[in-house]
Amino acid sequence: MTAGLWQHWVLPGIWITIQLTVYSAALAALVAFGIGLARAHRSRLVRFLAAAYTEIFRGTSALVLMFWLFFVLPPLAGWQLVPMWAAVLALGLSYGAYGAEIVRGALNSVPPAQREAGIALSLTPWQRMRLVLLPQAVPEMIPPFCNLLVELLKGTALVSLLGVGDVSFAAYLVRLATQDSAQIYSVTLVIYFVLAFAITRGMKALERRTKANLGISTQDPGGGARTPAKARKPVAVGGTTAARGDLR
């Protein structure tokens, strides 16, 4: 593969793949937290609508949804989405539905005593969610979110079917130009691995940090001894000062 092919096709393709992953992940995170919190709402109607969204978007193909947004929606709405944003919408809405179940499961994993403690402190439902439940649930969300983000990265290859010049589409063009499938697709595999590895390491660092902020000891990834967590800091909850973890 020549330097020109690498510079004009592969490198721009990597950048577009990164953009797609970031934009789709941001949309998926908004959907995941919005729908996931709605699944824990007191209103039965809100819970029903959130559950319906989850089931619909988990049960449909992201690729077909991408085609629907790009080919079917324009005649209905009277305006055309560019392929990039049709792909971002399809991936964000689809993977956000999976993320919503992660959020719901993590919130349900918080011990009921934590909710009761928030009620005893006369916290509003939003204060209980923000100050008590989410800080303890977020560290539990990070490992499955890491897996979902890696799957999202690999799912961006679907956009090549819309002609978006991501790394998989660039690999296809290079193969047509050089007639050498082995080299370009081997390089493409390495590119996806490097991007996924960077995501994994970043999410692991975020997980350690969030657990340390809660006073939870973390295990050294190399299998070494436990590293001491940060000392518990006093936090103000509903006008009452308490150390993190005192309500456990």
pLDDT at 1: 62
Q: Is the pLDDT of residue 117 over 90?
A: no
Of 216, 223, 215, nearest to 242 (Cα)?
A: 215
Residues 103, 133: Cα–Cα separation, whole Å? 11
pLDDT at 197: 97
- The answer to whether residues 184 and 177 touch, using CB atoms and an 8 Å cutoff, is no
SS3 state at 225: coil
Q: What mean pLDDT do residues 192-204 have? A: 96
If pLDDT is split at 50, 70 and 90, which confidence band does 225 have? very low
SS3 state at 107: helix
Residues 205, 15: Cα–Cα separation, whole Å? 23
Q: Is the pLDDT of residue 55 over 70?
A: yes
pLDDT at 74: 87
pLDDT at 232: 41
pLDDT at 202: 95
Q: What mean pLDDT do residues 119-138 have? A: 85
State percent of the chain over pLDDT 90: 53
The answer to whether the predicted template modeling score (pTM) of the entire model surpasses 0.85 is no
Q: What mean pLDDT do residues 210-223 have? A: 64
Q: What mean pLDDT do residues 68-78 have? A: 89
